[in-house]
Amino acid sequence: MFWKLTSLSASSPVETILDKENFTLEELLDEEEIIQECKALNSRLINFLRDKAQVEQLLRYIVEESPDDADSKRAYKFPFISCEIFTCEIAVILKTLVEDDELMDLLFSFLEPNRSHSALLAGYFSKVVICLMVRKTAALMNYVKGHQNVFRQLVDLIGITSIMEVLVRLVGADDHVYPNFLDVMQWLADSNLLEMIVDKLKPSSPAEVQANAAETLCAISRNAPSALATQLSSSSFVARIFGHALEDSHSKSGLVHSLSVCTSLLDPRKSSASSSSMFNSYRGQPIFEAPPVPVTQETIDAMLPKLGELLMLLSVASDSTVLPTTYGELRPPLGKHRLKIVEFIAVLLRTGSEAAEKELISSGTTKRTLDLFFEYPYNNALHHQVESIILSCLENKSYLLVNYILRECNLIGKFLASDRDTNLSSDSQHTVAATGKKPPRVGYIGHITRISNKIGLLSNSNGQIKAYLQETSDWNEWQGSVLQERNTVENVNRWGCGRPTTVQDRTRDSDDDDRDYDVAALANNLSQAFRYKMYGNDDNEEDHHNALDRDDDDVYFDDESAEVVISSLRLGDDQACLQIRIGSHSKTTDSAARPLTQQVPIQ
């Protein structure tokens, strides 16, 4: 039977407005259902909005600031609705826009330097331009090619994150947009766009400008191979980036963001993992990420002459900053810029460049990072990067690098000395324990344990490491007692909390770990919980006493619809099996319904 619903058959408020002889665009924009009607492709509405006069007025709401005495509709609602109409991606409306130079000039007039650029309108402008990149790529790129000042204006406003997003799309971070991607990238490389962006890394630029410029350059490096990425990784541009980083030693922000670009050039995947999630998709379309391209020796060689200056910045002797913490004081704190230098060194070592390894040894940079490991015992981010440096040295096939980290840096000796006294030393150089309190335990013991275990594994395949360990009697004694006992204690597969306890050790895969539960403990907890009505079972008191009288090997959990019987728990050597019997009953019948037995294997 079909019911007649008057409310469903009534015309929409938008249709009511369109039926008037005289109506305005503002009346439509004030109507709540206009976006829904646009997405439904209302022909009467679209034919009205596609007119040049209406498109022009929609653009003015987006690019022009509202007067000071304007109401909230003019200041907030109309710009928002106008932006949403464009991003509905209606072909005839976008066609009206891109095929008229006057309308395109009006859209990009938002970038003019003599205008105010609020974050609100910048976001609307960004959404409309990105929509045109996706749906009207050729027309938009032809306009940009004919108006070279657009590049300069975009870069000048790169400190606004929404404008930076337009640049990121423009330089190819979403290269599936361009049907002729290679030609567009070559055209961008022939322009001076890259020079303008790199210049924004200079120390005189505000921090937000440097950060957004670095993010744009990292986006270019992630899209290698391309003409623009190849140009960025050239020695001239790498030298220019390092020049901005080291131009002013007091500009920590410039150093951090410039090194972020250099790190991205060495390892684009690292930059991709740490980038903002706002660039991961647009309207459900994932950003294209090309496979990583091996870093060229030219790029590495351009970085090596600057390692000496970076090493000087790792020194904390002239820094008098004091940072109070819960465990004492840092004199001085490590700082984000020094941590970024250590991260850069770790990524540089992972490239496997022999020239980089020799330079890191000769400059003493690797040894200095190892010293920082112990000088800042509670900086886990630092410990993680130094661990990467140590493992890169030990896993390397170079005799020189392995010998350097083991003998000249005395890695094993420092580890053993620190492990013997795990409390914060009172004579620590830069980390001072709080007075009147017991010195806390240092925070790098876990990293020492993990690195030591890795050294033991590498000694099985590396004769150089094995020979050195055999010469070190303290290591053999410490490994056989302290390290072995610590590994036993920290072996999570032997813990009884939330895992099945068995008499033998089993090797579990990572997928199996997620399915391991202590079923015996869970069954016992359920038994106790339902027995004492912890879950609010409203059975009568007689049922409660009957439940207490049941045998623990066959415990029934009664409710109004079903009963679950855990009849037995068998844990064998090869497989444990839990038998669960499920039977249904009604409120008026006895609970002795015929059970259904099911065996659930415990992985």
Q: How do the domains of the chain map onto residue ranges?
A: 10-147, 303-490, 513-602
Task: Express each pLDDT in 404-434 by its tens digit.
Answer: 999 999 999 999 988 888 888 766 678 888 8
Higher pLDDT, 135 or 281: 135
Tokens of 40: 């439904």
Q: What's the whole-number mean pLDDT along residues 205-225?
A: 91
Asked if residue 60 has pLDDT above 90, the reply is yes
- At residue 91's C-alpha, the angle toward residues 86 and 94, to 5°, is 45
- Rounded to two decimals, the pTM is 0.75
Q: What's the whole-number mean pLDDT along residues 232-253?
A: 89
What was the pLDDT predicted at 558? Answer: 43
With bands split at pLDDT 50, 70 and 90, how would you rate the model's confidence at 463? very high
Residue type, 287: I
Task: Express each pLDDT in 332-378 by its tens digit.
Answer: 899 999 999 999 999 999 998 999 999 999 999 999 999 999 999 99
Asked if residue 597 has pLDDT above 70, the reply is no
Output the average pLDDT for the chain.
79
Answer for the pair 219, 171: CB distance below 8 angstroms, yes or no.
yes
What was the pLDDT predicted at 570? Answer: 38
Question: H or E segment at 556?
Answer: strand 555-558
What was the pLDDT predicted at 592? Answer: 39
Q: Please list the alpha-helical segments (H only) found in 19-160.
A: 25-29, 34-39, 43-49, 52-63, 72, 78-87, 91-98, 101-108, 119-135, 137-146, 149-156
Q: Is 566 helix (H, G, I), strand (E, B) or coil?
A: strand
Report how far residue 58's alpha carbon sits from residue 246's, in angstroms, rounded to the nearest whole number: 47
Report how far residue 234's alpha carbon sits from residue 213's, in angstroms, rounded to the nearest whole number: 18
Q: Is 564 exposed, middle or buried (0-12, 13-18, 19+ CB in 10 A)?
A: middle
In this structure, the strands spanning 431-433 and 562-571 are unpaired
With bands split at pLDDT 50, 70 and 90, how would you rate the model's confidence at 567? very low
With bands split at pLDDT 50, 70 and 90, how would you rate the model's confidence at 530? low
Q: What's the whole-number mean pLDDT along residues 204-213?
A: 94
Asked if residue 488 has pLDDT above 80, the reply is yes
What was the pLDDT predicted at 268? Answer: 67
What was the pLDDT predicted at 430? Answer: 81
- At residue 23's C-alpha, the angle toward residues 19 and 26, to 5°, is 125
What was the pLDDT predicted at 497? Answer: 64
Highest mean pLDDT among 66-70, 290-294, 456-460, 500-504: 456-460
Residue 574 DSSP label: S
Asked if residue 17 has pLDDT above 70, the reply is yes
What was the pLDDT predicted at 521? Answer: 57
